[in-house]
Amino acid sequence: MTRPTTTSLTALAATAVLAGAGCAQQFNEAAPSGAAYDQSPAFENQTRAPELQSGVELTQTVVAEGLEHPWGLDQLPDGSWLVTERPGRMRIVTAEGQVGEPIAGLPEVDNRGQGGLHDVSVADDFAETRRVWWTYAEPRGDGKNATAVATGTLSEDGTTMQNVERIFQQQPAWASTKHFGARIVHDGEGHIFVGLGERSDPEPRQYAQDPQSTLGKIVRIDATTGEPAGAGVEGALPEIWSMGHRNIQAAEMGPNGQLWVAEHGPKGGDELNLIEPGVNYGWPEVSYGTDYDGSQQGVEEMEGMQQPVYYWDPSPAISGMTFYDGEMFPDWQGQALIGALKSEELIRLDIQDGRVTGEDRHLQGVGRVRDVEVAQDGALMLITDHDNGQMIRITPEGAGDA
The DSSP code for 68 is S
The C-alpha atoms of residue 228 and residue 283 are separated, in whole angstroms, by 23
Residue 264: active-site member: no
Q: Nearest to residue 358, comparing CAs of 23, 25, 15, 4?
A: 25
For 26, 202, 388, the CA distances from 115, given in Å and listed in that order, are: 33, 18, 18
Q: Which of 69, 118, 179, 245 is flagged as catalytic? A: 179
The DSSP string of 304-366 is TSPPPSEEESS---EEEEEE--SSS-GGGTT-EEEEETTTTEEEEEEEETTEEEEEEEESTTS
Q: Is 181 helix (H, G, I), strand (E, B) or coil?
A: strand
Distance of CA 27 to the CA centre of its chain: 21
Q: What stretches of 139-274 show up as alpha helix (H) in DSSP?
A: 202-205
Amino acid identity, residue 196? L
CA angle 132, 159, 402 (to 5 degrees): 75
Beta bridge partners of 32: none
The DSSP code for 145 is E
Q: Nearest to residue 87, comparing CAs of 63, 99, 71?
A: 71
Decide if 315 contacts 289 (C-beta within 8 A).
Answer: yes
Q: What stretches of 63-182 show up as alpha helix (H) in DSSP?
A: 126-129
User: Residue 274: which residues within 8 A CB-CB, separation 6 or more?
Assistant: 254, 258, 259, 260, 309, 354
The C-alpha atoms of residue 111 and residue 338 are separated, in whole angstroms, by 25
Beta bridge partners of 251: 261
Catalytic residues: 179
